[in-house]
Structure 1
């Protein structure tokens, strides 16, 4: 019976809070996302999917760049059709970038609040598991439509 109880703390370990702890990482993530989305917006060559290039199948995040671009243009239906996690990822990017820009005292309070929330709810772990499930569902049951939508 100890196994499930031992696994529970792992699910509620603050993942996002650990990313927020690293200000430089937050700035790099925000800048990289912004550059990538600007390249996509102007139909310029953007970074290709490493997983798809190496293995030949779309990764769990394939379609997110176009979905985020559609979302930023207010095209919610198109964004959700391309990738259901687009609003969640956009929220995460805004949170990570915004926290990196806050003064240290406010940033500290924000990180502590996020860590408490993650420990209490396990939401970040749940979202990551759900993302993998979403990817597998698309890959196994909607393969053709999924692969076509990521080209």
Structure 2
């Protein structure tokens, strides 16, 4: 499963017209969620476009690296979750993601384009 997900996101970075999911929160409320544009940013990072990835979402390259690590580790061990992540790392990651989202929201409410347009590849 991790290899399939990573492979699909890599292909989506090369061929943006491949189907994907839109953010339900953004579709219902117009407010982007903390992970809005993260899939596109991860796809861009996996296909080698680090600058484009960072423009979409700062966590894109980090997520791409995590997916590659997960895929390699899962293949080597034969287990879907070879090592459960430490709760402290998950908590830190979630807090950082929420802080980044709050900053982007605050900037966009000030008229600064902190989120790309919804039609960005």
Calculate the TM-score normalised by the size of structure 1: 0.60
Secondary structure of residue in 1 paired with 2:40: helix
Cross-structure match for 1:17: none
Cross-structure match for 2:114: 146
Determine the C-alpha separation between the residues in 2 that align with 1:44 and 1:94: 20
Secondary structure of residue in 1 paired with 2:51: helix
The structure with the larger Rg is 1
Deviation sequence 1:29-64 (CA, Å, 0-9, x none) = 553454355345322332111221232211111122
Determine the C-alpha separation between the residues in 1 that align with 2:65 and 2:117: 22
Gaps of 5+ in 1: 1-26
Determine the C-alpha separation between the residues in 1 that align with 2:90 and 2:74: 19
Gaps of 5+ in 2: none
Secondary structure of residue in 2 paired with 1:62: coil
Bigger shift: residues 128-137 or 87-96: 87-96
User: CA, structure 1 residues 98+70, in 2 after alignment: closer, same or farther (shift >3 Å)?
Assistant: same
Secondary structure of residue in 1 paired with 2:31: coil
Cross-structure match for 2:96: 130
User: CA, structure 1 residues 55+96, in 2 after alignment: closer, same or farther (shift >3 Å)?
Assistant: farther
1:60 lines up with 2:26 in the alignment: no
Calculate the TM-score normalised by the size of structure 2: 0.71
Deviation sequence 1:102-128 (CA, Å, 0-9, x none) = 335xx5xx52xx65xx36xx2331111
Point out which structure has higher relative CO (alpha carbons under 8 A, 6+ apart).
1
Q: What is the aligned length?
A: 114
Kindly indicate which of the two structures has a greater share of residues assigned to helix. 1
